[in-house]
Structure 1
Amino acid sequence: MTSLAQRLRSGDKIVTAWSGLAVPIVAELLARGGYEAVTLDMQHGQHDMASVREGMASLTLAGAHRIVRIPVGGNAMASRVLDVGAEAVIAPMINNRADAEAFAAAMKFPPVGARSWGPHRAAMLAGKTSSDYLAGANDSLLSLAMIETPEAIAALEDILSVPGIDGVFVGPSDLSLTLSQGLSLDPGGERTQKAATDIARRTLAAGKVAGIFCLEPGKVQEAIGMGYSLMAFGSDAFLLMEASQAALKSSRV
């Protein structure tokens, strides 16, 4: 299976489902429903290390790419989720070069970073020997820094220049909140979209991967037009509720 990193760097556009429910078979069903990637959310979702561990196996079984968003400042967790099979890790609130360096250090083996050895389960899921896993890990496992604040936008070139940072992931809700200094939540607003467009442009200019969370289906194509290649759309809890409502509505006479 071609890695997520290879696909995104070659220009593929991938939509990832967003999993907040700590039930591994739900993530698997999202993949079996057609999603090429699923992101397990440890920041605002209910996932913990146990559900991520089992979720990585479930997604491997379903043939989907495996992404995890860690909690704010959870760099130790970044190494752990890689060890159980994550192909990409999204780190929230990376606001400056120091934040990016700490995240990259947890994600990459020496000489790029300081990740310690122990990816036995990850190698097993990938069908690789330990030597093969080590040889490709730094290049094939993606470190995506979330850009969500004016401080991060101002420091974007510094963040992108850190060895071991492979790209960015935009959170438009928090971005709108911080751009307005807490006065409004407007992820689809003009100011937020202008910032997202600028972030994508600068990220692509640096030769890195750009990802973004999309709250509406139309925003996926808009994001692609901006230059994004990884788009999150479709949260498990909302998809289940919407499917339930549609099923009930269709059954009423």
Structure 2
Amino acid sequence: MTLREKWSAGDETLGFWLSIPGFVGAEIAARQPVDYVCIDTQHGVIDYLASASMIQAIELAGGTPIVRVPWNEPGIIGKTLDAGAHGVIVPMVNTREQAEAVVASSRYVPNGSRSWGPVMAGQRHPDQRAWADATTAVIPMIETREAISNLDDILAVPGIDAIYVGPADLSISLGLEPHGNADESRLDDALATIVAACGRHGVTPGIHSTGALTQRRRDQGFRMITVTSDALALRAGYASELAATRGAGSATSNDLY
């Protein structure tokens, strides 16, 4: 099933986040029982060529590759989808007009204005246009006060499948520090507002999380949840093994987003 099919059925989707370039790590992540693997080309150190090979590796492992693009720009979004991404997460979408631009860049005519040229994706899907129309997940990010004030307008845009909350930027916008807000009412209230609006518009609410925070986010109503990243998992794995070696148990954190 595609992400869009799972969301239409009301299913929860869990995923991993990759910010370190390399097809090996991408394949390892995709061979875990997750619903998607997101390649971060905004804040990670992954360039376009690396992301294209990582998309290949994720598909080889039977996974679903999606990409967070650097910005809401049609050339970037189209080129990412041409590389074979099954969906795009687009940062800092604050208005209806910006949301409409995301959809237009992601979908072919008549539902958008995406340019034809699926050099990589077309090799894997001979029925590329039909496949893209059915599969491509369009996921704007909600991560500012401005976005929350325009939430109903944004979510009313046809063609949006899910939204994705960046808790760090949202926290900063709310006057908080970027981390350590798991019990902060201002953040919780904002998340409740987002989930309620998604329910009104039939859009799946997504969020960046950790394994320890996932149950809380699930209880809050999120159905697309990224449970860890390669960098955090690597750091936690090293710390755990080193702590066990020194007889100090293992180190974990509930607040690593």
- Under a length normalisation based on structure 1, what TM-score does the superposition of the two structures give? 0.91
Is the contact between residue 138 and residue 164 of structure 1 (CA under 8 Å) also seen in structure 2? no
Q: What amino acid maps onto 1:243 in structure 2?
A: G
1:48-87 pair list within 5 angstroms: 48-87=47-86
- Indicate yes or no: 2:237 matched with 1:235: no
Find 1:206's aligned residue among 201, 209, 218. Answer: 201
CA distance in 1, matches of 2:3, 2:161: 12
- Indicate yes or no: 2:174 matched with 1:179: yes
Partner of 1:159: 154
Q: What amino acid maps onto 1:219 in structure 2?
A: L
Secondary structure of the corresponding residue to residue 116 of structure 2: coil
Percent same amino acid among aligned pairs? Answer: 34
- Indicate yes or no: 2:243 matched with 1:249: yes
Secondary structure of the corresponding residue to residue 64 of structure 1: coil
Is the contact between residue 107 and residue 164 of structure 1 (CA under 8 Å) also seen in structure 2? no
Whose relative contact order is higher, 1 or 2, with alpha carbons under 8 Å and at least 6 apart?
1
Secondary structure of the corresponding residue to residue 16 of structure 2: strand
CA distance in 1, matches of 2:157, 2:73: 18
TM-aligned CA deviation for residue 211 of structure 1? 0.7
Hey, which of these two has a bigger chunk of helix by percent? 1
Is the contact between residue 203 and residue 209 of structure 1 (CA under 8 Å) also seen in structure 2? yes
Secondary structure of the corresponding residue to residue 213 of structure 2: helix
Partner of 1:106: 105
- Under a length normalisation based on structure 2, what TM-score does the superposition of the two structures give? 0.89
CA distance in 2, matches of 1:38, 1:155: 29
CA RMSD of aligned residues (A): 1.7
CA distance in 1, matches of 2:107, 2:32: 32
CA distance in 2, matches of 1:169, 1:219: 16
Q: What amino acid maps onto 2:68 in structure 1?
A: R
Q: What amino acid maps onto 2:20 in structure 1?
A: L
CA distance in 1, matches of 2:188, 2:123: 41
Is the contact between residue 3 and residue 35 of structure 2 (CA under 8 Å) also seen in structure 1? no
Secondary structure of the corresponding residue to residue 25 of structure 1: helix
Point out where structure 2 has 5 or more consecutive residues left out of the alignment. 248-257
Point out where structure 1 has 5 or more consecutive residues left out of the alignment. none
Partner of 1:6: 5
Deviations 1:119-173 (A, max 9, x none): 2421333xx32xx321242342111110011110111111112222222111111
Q: What amino acid maps onto 1:105 in structure 2?
A: A
